[in-house]
Amino acid sequence: MLRKIIISIALQLSLITLTSSKPVVEEGIKIVITNLRNDKGHVLVSLFKEGAGYPDDASKALRKIKLDIRNKKASVIFTGLASGDYAIAILHDENDDQKMNKNSLGLPKEGYGFSNNVKGAFGPPSWSKASFKHTANTLTQKDIRARY
């Protein structure tokens, strides 16, 4: 008898949990950054739309965020975005000075990366190589490997 009561209660609790849960709907642009060399500092992420400011003028970025690093990875989802062409630029700001540090030859000392994991020959890659299409109310995921 006690066993039947326990089973009945467990089933009722399961039913309540199932009917009260809302499904998780992800939409937007999800950015997953890997290959960071350590957990120092933060990752600065700039999301550009239609080429405005790409890649050097973060003040013209549609969205930007400073991410914590865990286990040499970082991620974010930018939601509520309209359909269009976007590109992403990231910087592993290891010393938290809000800028890309360079050596005496002008080469980056900190990690960086771009959407589509493209790289430029002598400088950042072009908009046409780094850009991608996003459709509103869908989830677009971009995996970016940091380069040093």
The whole-number average pLDDT for the span 117-131 is 95
Q: Rounded CA gap, 52 and 81, in Å?
A: 16
Position 12 scores a pLDDT of 54
Cβ atoms 63, 30 nearer than 8 A: no
pLDDT tens digits, 13-67: 554 444 445 556 589 999 999 999 999 999 999 999 999 999 999 999 999 999 9
Q: Look at residues 139, 148, 142 and name the one whose alpha carbon lies nearest to residue 130.
A: 142
| Structural domain total, the chain | 1
The secondary structure element, H or E, covering residue 144 is: strand 139-145
CATH number at residue 68: 2.60.40.10
Position 24 scores a pLDDT of 63
Q: How many residues does the chain have?
A: 148
DSSP conformation class of 58: G
Whether 31 is in a domain gets the answer yes
Domain that holds residue 113: 24-145
